[in-house]
């Protein structure tokens, strides 16, 4: 089991529950930070002292304060932390539970685990810590069970959002090319749309968009 864990969380009642859970799992040292900048400083300090944190558990959203913070959220913290320590593992613990958004966050941060804060959050977090310690990724059941959204790429989700906004394939092609998001030819976009229809089991593009909304991908 991990010997020490850093938890970035600005709600005391949540921090208390996470601490009790980690202590019961045998984690000897649990440190806390209510600000992302403070969390990064603690990670760097521990690394300089030759005793780095092997695991970071972070929320995504932190309430704004009077402080001028460089890191605005948990995603930025995870990115900065991993950039400074290639061995650091990260579990995101958040209220965000839209599969499409979660997929993008995990792709962006390269987090090893993602746990949704709900009535089973601590139980799932405990399982996530076990899995990540053993070198396995972990997603909360309500995320992992939605298999179709998790097989879509970030570009697929972008296309879905543009379709939902009423854009045609020409508009989508221009948007993708302008923002350098990937393949932008109309034939490639048509291929991605066809693939998404098959993945989501939709008979039409409109039905595909409606399914994506129902599944909270967009």
pLDDT tens for 150-161 read 467 888 889 999
Distance CA 23, CA 21 (A): 6
Distance CA 90, CA 110 (A): 8
Beta strand 89-94 pairing with 55-58: parallel
The per-residue pLDDT for 145 is 52
Which residue has tokens 């098959």? 198
> Do the domains 4-145 and 148-214 sit in the same CATH topology, yes or no?
no
The per-residue pLDDT for 64 is 82
What's the CATH number for 4-145?
Answer: 3.40.50.2300
Task: Tell which phi-psi region holds residue 61, choosing left (phi > 0), alpha (psi between -120 and 50) or beta.
Answer: beta
Q: Could you report the per-residue pLDDT of 163-185, keeping only the tens digit for each?
A: 999 999 999 999 999 988 888 89
- List the chain residues with pLDDT less than 70: 100, 144-151
Spans of all domains in the chain:
4-145, 148-214
Q: 23: which 2 tokens?
A: 């202590």
Helix/strand/coil (H/E/C) assignment for every residue in 51-73: CCCCEEEECCCCCCCCCCCCCCC
Is residue 197 within 8 A of residue 156, CB to CB? The reply is: no
Is residue 10 within 8 A of residue 38, CB to CB? The reply is: no
The per-residue pLDDT for 147 is 44
Question: Who contacts 165 (Cβ-Cβ below 8 Å, separation ≥6)?
Answer: none
The per-residue pLDDT for 144 is 63
Is residue 89 within 8 A of residue 56, CB to CB? The reply is: yes
CATH top-level class of 148-214: mainly alpha
> Cβ–Cβ contacts within 10 Å for residue 41, how many?
12
Three-state DSSP at 4 gives strand
């Amino acid at each position: 089991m991990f010997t020490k864990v850093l938890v970035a969380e600005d709600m005391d009642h949540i921090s208390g529950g996470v601490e009790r859970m980690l202590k019961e799992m045998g984690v000897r040292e649990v440190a806390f930070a209510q600000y992302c900048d403070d969390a990064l400083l603690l990670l760097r300090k521990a690394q300089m002292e030759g005793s780095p944190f092997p695991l970071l558990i972070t929320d995504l959203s932190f309430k704004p304060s009077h402080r001028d913070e460089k890191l605005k959220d948990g995603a930025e913290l995870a990115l900065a932390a991993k950039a400074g320590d290639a061995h650091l593992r990260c579990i995101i613990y958040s209220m965000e539970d839209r599969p499409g958004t979660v997929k993008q966050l995990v792709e962006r941060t390269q987090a090893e685990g993602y746990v949704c804060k709900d009535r089973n959050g601590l139980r799932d977090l405990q399982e996530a810590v076990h899995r990540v310690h053993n070198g396995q990724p972990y997603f909360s059941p309500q995320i992992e069970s939605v298999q179709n959204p998790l097989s879509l790429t970030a570009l697929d989700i972008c296309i879905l959002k543009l379709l939902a906004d009423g854009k045609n394939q020409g508009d989508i092609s221009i948007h993708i090319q302008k923002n350098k998001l990937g393949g932008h030819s109309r034939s490639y976009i048509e291929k991605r749309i066809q693939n998404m229809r098959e993945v989501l089991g939709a008979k039409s593009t409109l039905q595909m968009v409606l399914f994506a909304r129902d599944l909270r991908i967009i």
